[in-house]
Structure 1
Amino acid sequence: MQSSKANNGVPRGFLAGVRYEHLLAGVSGGVASTLILHPLDLLKVRFAVPDTGRISSAGLSAAAAAAAVQRPHYTGLGHATSAIWRTEGVRGFYKGVTPNLWGAGAAWGLYFLFYNMVKSEYQSRHGRVQLGPGMHMLAAAQAGVATLLLTNPIWVVKTRLCLQYDNVGSTSNSLRYNGMVDALSKTYRMEGIKGLYKGLVPGLFGVSHGALQFMAYEELKLTYNSHFNRPPSAKLDTSEYLACAALSKLFAAVTTYPYQVLRARMQDQHADYANLRACIRFTWRHHGAKGFYRGLAPNLLRVVPATAITFVVYEKTSQKLMGNSNPDDGAQTSVPAPDPPDPKV
């Protein structure tokens, strides 16, 4: 049964495209990939923010600069991994994992739900014709904005918990969090709603990540099917889906990565940038163009396997939940996060 039309072929409205199987399947995929790959996410966040000796008064308060100097300096992935293991143990690699699980699950579930709702609505308006790259990008962008507005507070908390270091000097109790709920409570109490939505502006720029990714993914599938003279909606096998998903993720990640660096810095509890422009100026002055790509290596190491894990879990779960009843219903549109939407960091 096509969810976007009544029996007489008349579109039934936007809510007709709601399929909660996409929500549940997206949550499953996001949680699975986060549990396995959170340590790489933590490394990416720590590389993204300023380290020892890199802080000045430019864009930061004196208190924030003093606190930030306490951070360790990592010379590379190997050094960062050994340093965290030595000073913080296994638990150190899983700081921030609770909000990351909540964030990834919610972000992927909502993203898939909203994307398929919007896509279903667009298709119902045009007689179920195959959408072009522009419409795929628009649907993905709308889904990304809606998801980010709902999940941004979780990403703020996740970033701040990832930036809690052991054995690196004293930290004010007001900046020390005992878990996700404590971090949400303290952030709201000390900074209000504004604090929970730090990094929202670069995050909105980051919606282009998901839009580019979904557009590339859909176009790769269409091109692949066209090359073998198959119908546009023909299903691919698992390895073909994975190849399309990985290539689209790699393209989007490299193209839009700077927004993730800026968002992490804006969400840092030890930093107090006046605004996004101050953050950009600070990053450029102290790190140059390379500064906007700090943490790219662990990010790529994370997002490619995350694509595979999220994608496989999503596809298998959604097919099972929907009984694999209609190859066009749900439009095989899996690609991972946002991070999230880490549409998300």
Structure 2
Amino acid sequence: MSTPRRSPFAGVRYEHLVAGVSGGVASTLILHPLDLLKIRFAVNDGPAASAKPHYTGLTQALGHIFRHEGIRGLYRGVTPNVWGAGSAWGFYFLFYNSIKSYLQGGNPKVHLGPGLHMAAAAEAGVLTLVMTNPIWVVKTRLCLQSTSGGGGATAASATHYNGMVDALVKTYKYEGVRGLYKGFVPGVFGVSHGALQFMAYEEMKAQYNRYRNLPIDAKLTMVEYLSFASLSKLFAAVTTYPYQVLRARMQDQHAHYDNLRHCVKETWRYEGLQGFYRGLTPYLVHVMPNICLVFLIYETVSGSSSS
């Protein structure tokens, strides 16, 4: 007997969207300065370095930004970052749990295994990236904008932005739709980051609950959620970090790369292997508390909504 096909929309639950948005917005507002430092360190060298301030360490970078740009400088790009993180986490959790529910046939106690967990996370990542890439382009460019940058009058009019809307308009005006989707290809490669992270997170939760002789969807304590979230993020971050450097550099308004291959070639030429891990320290300092906040708020909000 053939079983009836289940609609892919049957598992859509909007509390996942609300929970993801809540976690993304809260963590971004608290930790944005660390994200800004990560982006600036990622593009801190290479052929376009002369157009930007040079940083030698976290303390020196914080001091330089504070002296030249004030507190406001530490929050450059926060508006698109809030929009981007909120919408990205919201859509990601919505898509991921909908796809996961479809693969489970609507039974949350069915264990999918590492392969299907990665597939669900990868599909959710691509769908989310299509919807949010323009916001990430604007966020990156606003974070890289500083009062000490160079450039003539024409360059300034094209690459100096007065806010999120102005950046979106100017990017589209001078570069078209292609400009809004710069960094999309390394972003697609970066889907592997989310896939590895969610695979590790789901597998650790499932194996831990099996060890306790509980259903795989049993709720955990705050400390357990935080532990699994941080360990899964650390695993994914170290494995896939170079794509974030390439993505930031391709989105940088001060640099000009023909394509991803050109960006890889120039990074290797000027900096070697170390160049692909620029900004890793501020990135880890930023993402570890970030992911803990996102997952903790997500699990709390989604858990209370479904109870």
| TM-score normalised by structure 2 residue count | 0.94
Kindly state the Cα deviation for residue 128 of structure 1 after the two structures are TM-superposed.
Answer: 5.6
Shift of 1:12: 4.4
Instruction: Please tell me the residue identity of whatever aligns with 2:200.
Output: A
1:23 is matched with which residue? Answer: 17
- Residues 195-206 of structure 1: matches in 2 within 5 Å? 195-206=179-190
> Does residue 76 of structure 2 align to residue 115 of structure 1?
no
Pairing partner for 1:207 from 180, 184, 191: 191
Moved over 6 A (4+): none
Residue 90 (str. 1) matches residue 74 (str. 2)? no
1:157 matched to 2:138: yes
Residues 287-313 of structure 1 show CA distances to partners (whole Å, capped at 9, x for unaligned) of 111100000011101111011111121
One-letter identity of the residue aligned with 2:23: G
Q: CA deviation at 1:125?
A: 7.7
SS for the counterpart of 2:177 is helix
Q: Which residue of 1 aligns with 2:228?
A: 244
1:144 aligned to which of 102, 111, 125: 125
User: Aligned partners of 1:245, 1:226: CA distance in 2, in Å?
Assistant: 18
Q: Give the residue type in structure 2 aligned to 1:15.
A: F
CA RMSD of aligned residues (A): 1.7
Alignment of 1:299-310 (within 5 A): 299-310=283-294
Aligned pairs (5 A) from 1:1-345:
12-51=6-45, 54-55=46-47, 65=48, 68-124=49-105, 129-170=110-151, 172-322=156-306, 324=307
Distance in 1 (alpha carbons) for counterparts of 2:14 and 2:213: 33
TM-fit CA distance, 1:320: 2.6
AA of the residue aligned to 1:304: M
Change (3 A) 1:127 1:31: closer
CA displacement at 1:314 relative to structure 2: 1.2
Q: Structure 1 length normalisation: TM-score? A: 0.84
| Counterpart-to-counterpart distance in 2, 1:133 and 1:73 | 42
Distance 2:284 2:106 in 1: 38
Counterpart of 2:9 in 1: which secondary structure? helix
Q: How far apart in 2 are the matches of 1:302 and 1:17?
A: 33
Contact 1:153–1:197 (CA<8 Å) still a contact in 2? Answer: yes
Paired with 1:126 and 1:106, the residues of 2 have a C-alpha distance of 27
Per-residue deviation, 1:284: 0.6
CA–CA distance in 2 between the matches of 1:263 and 1:148? 12
Asked if 1 retains the 8 angstrom alpha-carbon contact of 2:108 and 2:217, the reply is no
Deviation digits for residues 62-99 of structure 1 (CA, Å, limit 9, x no counterpart)? xxx5xx52311111111101100111000000000000
Contact 2:52 2:148 in 1 (8 A): no
Most deviating of 154-163 and 307-316: 307-316
- Provide the identity percentage: 65
* Larger helix proportion of the pair: 2
Query: What is the rounded CA distance, in whole Å, between the counterparts of 2:209 and 2:304 in structure 1?
Result: 24
**How many pairs were matched up?**
302
Q: What displacement does 1:278 show? A: 0.6
* CA apart distance, 1:233: 2.5
Q: Is the 8 A contact 1:11 1:125 kept in 2?
A: no
Distance apart, 1:241 and its partner CA: 1.1
Give 5+ residue unaligned stretches, structure 1.
1-8, 56-64, 325-345
